[in-house]
A = this chain, B = another copy of it.
Amino acid sequence: MSRPTVNDIAREAGVSLATVDRVLNARPGVREKTIHAVNDAIARLGYIRDMAAANLARSRSYRMAVLLPDGDSQFVQTLADAMQEAAQQAATNRTEMQLVRYPPEDTHALAALLAGLADEGIAGVAVMAPETPVLRDAVRGLRQRAIPVVALVSDLPNAGCDHFIGVDSRAAGRTAGLLMGRFTGNGPRRIAVVAESMLLRDAIERRRGFDEVLLADFPEAEALPTLETHGAPEALAAGLRELLSAGQIGGVYLLGSGHRALTAALGEMGLLGKVVVIGHELTRHSRAALTAGQLHAVIAQNPGHLARSTLRVLRAKADRAPIDEGQEQLRIEIVLHENLPPEPVEPARTSH
């Protein structure tokens, strides 16, 4: 015996194919009693829906839009690549993706982009951006038109998104704090904290988590005020020098990007390998630093997972189908020299 089909259900329930379909897809216009009869038959026969056939018959394809900030962040670039790869895979399931890079800092341009998407018959939108009132409104606008929106990497807690795909930044910061506390040993020590900017919610949350753990579990450690570099390597070097003049440093926590600049600055000061360095996200540079023993731990999220999860969740939302929480749960990964995953094969470069 092969698996029961909708035809079997129809026969068993004494109704037509169309009615079974209506019940299956929770479409209106069926009497309560009929619904019950169909559901009974489904349960009796142990029917399992064939997704492949369903998708085929729908011959509907889903156009998803993914919005990522432009700029030269290695992490975002890696994510963009992963998105393209996931999209290629998803094309098999009638899901296509349109990747859009928007000028960072320009919230209004982003909002305009989002508003524009609403008219293009888009089935879902994923957006990675800091939360602003303008963005919140744009998201609400989309959702009012029944277009699902998911937040990517950075949560938008007050925008009313359908889902958040990423990790809890505060917990990520706590993890960094725990590692820093354990890696720097037992004596008293000062920990430098470096960031390009503290305007981003992620950086703030990470710092908060980091401090929490250090304060509670490693009272002998002292996390210094954040050194903001604003992307200027000289600022970083100068700042570090100043911190050093006030006493020895046991570790450096890099809140965001800037691995290259940090490695350079530490190298100049002859500190490479002498202080514990912990950072976020696995990029070409952090990977190299990890391999070279200049970086001791990376807190990361898997971009491939992030990308596939995004497309799957958007698809589920578009279908109003439930989400497999277990599968979509992103992990806060800890990457050390010894568990560094092999370099992924270089995909075709994203044109933006």
Contact = CB atoms under 8 A, between A and B. Distances in A.
Interface string A179-195: 10011011000000000
A6 to B, nearest CB: 13
B327 A331 contact: no
Given A51-B93, A52-B55, A324-B89, A333 B333 contact: yes
Contacts of A3: 61
Interface of A: 2-3, 48-53, 55-56, 59, 61, 85, 89, 91-94, 171-172, 174-175, 177-179, 182-183, 185-186, 209, 213, 296, 299, 302, 304, 308, 324-327, 329, 331-334, 336-339, 341-342, 344-345
A338 B52 contact: no
A348 B59 CA distance: 35
Contacts of A48: 91-92
A175 B329 contact: no
A332 B339 contact: yes
Given A209-B338, A333-B334, 12 more contacts: A50-B56, A50-B92, A50-B94, A171-B338, A174-B338, A175-B336, A182-B183, A185-B186, A186-B186, A299-B339, A331-B333, A331-B341
Nearest to A179: B336
The 3 A-B pairs with the shortest beta carbon distances in the complex, nearest first, are A52-B52, A332-B339, A334-B334
A240 B324 CA distance: 43
A85 B326 contact: yes
A296 to B, nearest CB: 8
A90 to B, nearest CB: 10
A178 B337 contact: yes
Nearest to A334: B334
A329 B342 contact: yes
Contact of A52 (B89, B94, B326, B341): B94
Contact of A92 (B52, B91, B179, B342): B52
Contacts of A213: 338
